[in-house]
Structure 1
Amino acid sequence: MASQSLQFLPADLMESQISVVDLLVAMFPSPGELDISDSTAEDVERVRAWCVDPTPMAKIPANLFLTVSLPVAETGKTIQVNIAVPLQCSDPANMDQPPPLGYSLRQPDWMSKAEIRQIATSIPQGDVMEAFEYIQAEATCFLENKECHDADSEKTRSGLGPREPMVRVWFYFPSLSTRRKRDDMVNLAPGYGLTGFVLAGKPGVLCLEGASPDIDAYMSFIKTHSWGDIPSHQKKVSERFRETNGVHRVFLGMEEITDSLGERGGQRANRGDMQALEAWLEAKGLQEAFEKVIF
């Protein structure tokens, strides 16, 4: 079935969309607060004139694009919101409300891709003020939680708080394949003071070294946020082994070893090469862990 071609909105709905642009310009007057290109500004005035005298138009885009640097309350930080204001629709004759605005977020340097995606997927699609309030509230909550976690970690490192003993915990996955979720496991671990490794495949293995509360908090965040879009029955992970006595860090950082494990003579080991994993762990003095995790 052929898709319907887009047509310009009626003049009254077009005026509503232009009024949104005018509102944003008034709300964010300072340099750097609102990014609107010269060509977009020209399109706005062209559409404004058309609303007064609706003659056939040319060179009018399907959307007007703007970017707002939205302040996050009392933090000094901002989050950039890309806004698309649609000027066309497939059936303007039967529309009594303008089509909803589109939103996307640019990743700030204080959030990971997974964290910014978590906010972006739930932005309200109605009123622009409602969308802004949601984004600001979610970003503020994120920063407050991060500040609390960083403060607790700093207290532990500086000796101002109780120093938790080091543990090493091993998790088993029947299958671990999604690249983005593996990247999250690696990228989020340093923020919790954790070291270890991720191995994808069938089975998959996750090893974490650090304080027990930090490991628990990390796994809770991973399951809630990074894996938030996965049905619960697919979040199959089990803790197989927890080392608690006289544990010292073996790993310098957090890494994924899937592609490098078992390299021999220029050939990469297959994912799930348990013999290669066994030899690799044995070289690090972790043979007991392999036997408890895999078997």
Structure 2
Amino acid sequence: MSSETLDEHRQIYLECIQKQLEEIDLLSSIFCNPGEIHIYDPNVISDFNEYVSGQMSDIRSEMDFSVYFEHGREKVNIRIQLPHLYPLMENAKVTLFTPLLPKDKERNVQHKIESFIDASDKSEGYIYQVVLWIQDEFENFLTASNTSDLDVVINPDKVELESEKKVDLERLWIYSHHIKSKWKRREILEQAQQLKLTGFCKPGKPGIICVEGLKEDTQEFWRIIRSLQWQRITLKLVESRRKSPDKVEEWRRFQDFREKLMNDTELETEAEKMDMSLFMKFLDKHRCGYIKQELFGFN
């Protein structure tokens, strides 16, 4: 791995670890009463700070803590585990522990929590929103019937829960200082097509890539592309959803993966000259106008 690639790899980790430190600081100030929050290994805070400041070159420990609230006389434990690439690249693992929740309802509730996380904005930490949502919905968790929101498909041989058939989908928005190299542009196209991703690549300055498809494929695409030599490349937005397989094509906003030059002529020699109005129309056409704020800072 080249030194430039190592720097990019470290930069992604740094950004995620910094966001985690900021989030745990926020949560500690909100849940400040005794017993409301517990960090299982307090040393992880100092490890993270040393990593961010450059005093430590590697980290092994992860942020693992619980937020507690009371329901009646019982204490409810929301266990939160954050992988190193949370929130930008990996989802938080959030698990509910309480004697109030019957075992036969735990799976249903866990599925709801995961679905809520999948739909959350991944550009910033979202644990506070998850905790508030769990507190607001907790009474419903207790009173809901076991199959109230699970689609049950009756099969002559077996009964399957529809939730078990759902797949994890992602749409990644990638921003580069520029995309000019012909071999990089070819690699982007080939990888997207091999992984059966849809979206587009806009070469020139800036370079913008959007890929959508199965999460395992979008993550593989990002792993390969970010390992190339770049002056600067960042993951601007990750959109995650869980859908039934028959809803995947409906979820997609692009039919295939193509290179879009975004100029009047669409000539190779004009790749650096982007017509911003054409690009805005292109985004609007594909119901992606919301990304203007993330990419350029305006609506």
Mark yes or no: TM-score above 0.5: no
TM-score category by the smaller chain? 0.3 to 0.5
The structure with the larger Rg is 1
